[in-house]
A and B are shown apart, each in its own frame.
Chain A
Amino acid sequence: DVKVTQSSRYLVKRTGEKVFLECVQDMDHENMFWYRQDPGLGLRLIYFSYDVKMKEKGDIPEGYSVSREKKERFSLILESASTNQTSMYLCASRSGIDYGYTFGSGTRLTVV
């Protein structure tokens, strides 16, 4: 089975800190995605990447950036964390062949 691993399950950070959320997939998928999940809003796309060093903005990119230096790793960066970025963050990857999507188990980030 494809695995998408998010490095932290729970994270607490202070306002203004630079925060890195890491996501690693083990099946050589080209496409990777970052979402945030909030009650009543579903999952919203922050950024996606379709290849190494390639990145595109999703629907809510403000306050975030991403890095994809290696195919298997896609990092989400909060440049200066704010309390309104308290959320559940989900990473996903997709095979370009069969369109199967795999989600990580999520990182619940609290900014205080």
Chain B
Amino acid sequence: AQSVTQLDSHVSVSEGTPVLLRCNYSSSYSPSLFWYVQHPNKGLQLLLKYTSAATLVKGINGFEAEFKKSETSFHLTKPSAHMSDAAEYFCVVRSYQAGTALIFGKGTTLSVSS
């Protein structure tokens, strides 16, 4: 079965400093991995996805993630945080069972201070 573990429930950064949100995955097969963001009282928005092409995936709003098979990780990074990045972030793996449903991590809340 596939699963993801987000290693931090809450991350706080200052505006202009780098962002690192950590995610480890477990999968018996070559995984498809995603990062979604949810701003307060808003819907889910896809940031980026990895589907076995390039291991470094670029997403929207300056975010990127690197797939590392040897470490079973898919960490999300951004060089310089902006106040508007404050939101909840979900690391997600696609299930190979369950109708290929998405399996979500528990989420990481990113706070950005000025």
Contact = CB atoms under 8 A, between A and B. Distances in A.
Contact of A45 (B51, B90, B101): B101
- Chain A interface: which size bin? 20 to 34
Contacts, number: 46
Interface string B34-68: 00000000011010000100000000000000000
Interface residues of B, number: 18
A41 B99 CA distance: 21
Contact of B104 (A44, A49, A50, A94): A44
B31 interface: no
A89 interface: no
B106 A40 contact: yes
Contact of A56 (B32, B46, B99): B99
Interface in B100-114: 100-107
A2 B74 CA distance: 28
A31 B102 CA distance: 12
A6 B9 CA distance: 29
B110 to A, nearest CB: 15
B82 interface: no
B102 A106 contact: no
Interface of B: 9, 32, 43-44, 46, 51, 90, 94, 98-107
A35 B38 CA distance: 15
B29 to A, nearest CB: 14
Given A33-B101, A90-B44, 19 more contacts: A31-B99, A31-B100, A33-B102, A40-B106, A42-B90, A42-B104, A42-B106, A43-B104, A45-B98, A45-B101, A45-B103, A48-B101, A50-B99, A56-B98, A58-B101, A99-B51, A99-B94, A99-B100, A103-B43
The interface residues of chain A, by DSSP majority, are classed as: strand
Contact of A49 (B43, B99, B107): B99
Interface in A39-98: 40-45, 48-50, 56, 58, 90, 92, 94
A103 B51 CA distance: 20
B105 A42 contact: yes
A40 B94 CA distance: 20
Contacts of A94: 100
